Amino acid sequence: MRALAVALLAATIACNPFAFWGDATAQRGVAETATDRFHLKLDLSQFDSIYQEVDPEFRNATPEKDANALWRMVQRRFGSLQSDSLLGWNVSVTTNNGTIVRLVYYTTFSKDKGTETFTWRIRGGKPALLGYNINSPALQRALVDEKSTDEAAAKN
């Protein structure tokens, strides 16, 4: 009977949504700190340093020169960080791949605004960038204009 009570207590603790919520919030905090560090390094043009801290899965999918070109373009097109506001977040805990934290920000830069999505993998309390995306109407218009210019040049 005592063993059953201990097992029930352990199951209750393991399934405690409040304990999970606290851990999820802590993991979100780790990812938010990593995002702040990313923005600082972006402002300082420390693209190589950003890449050195990405997750191996990111590294396997994206060569350093391509990642650095993206971050260089973001810095040039958007400018330095002015403010950001967390729009949403999600934490997924896995048993063997670490904790995945996705943060979505509305970010104001010195030259433009956009929505940034960061995906971080946290293992042993250490975050590594797994994915980055920035979206802005001005950026989309610039890409369309660039494509139109390229197509016009190809016709000549």
Contacts of 46 (CB under 8 A, 6+ apart): none
Residue-level pLDDT at 68: 97
The whole-model pTM stands at 0.78
What gap in Å lies between CA 57 and CA 67, rounded to an integer? Answer: 13
Residue 85: pLDDT over 90 = yes
Domains, the chain: 19-155 (3.10.450.590)
Residue-level pLDDT at 146: 63
Percent of the chain beyond pLDDT 70? 77
Q: Pull the structure tokens for residue 47.
A: 């693209």
Confidence of residue 141 (pLDDT cuts 50, 70, 90): confident
pLDDT in tens, 111-125: 999 999 999 999 989
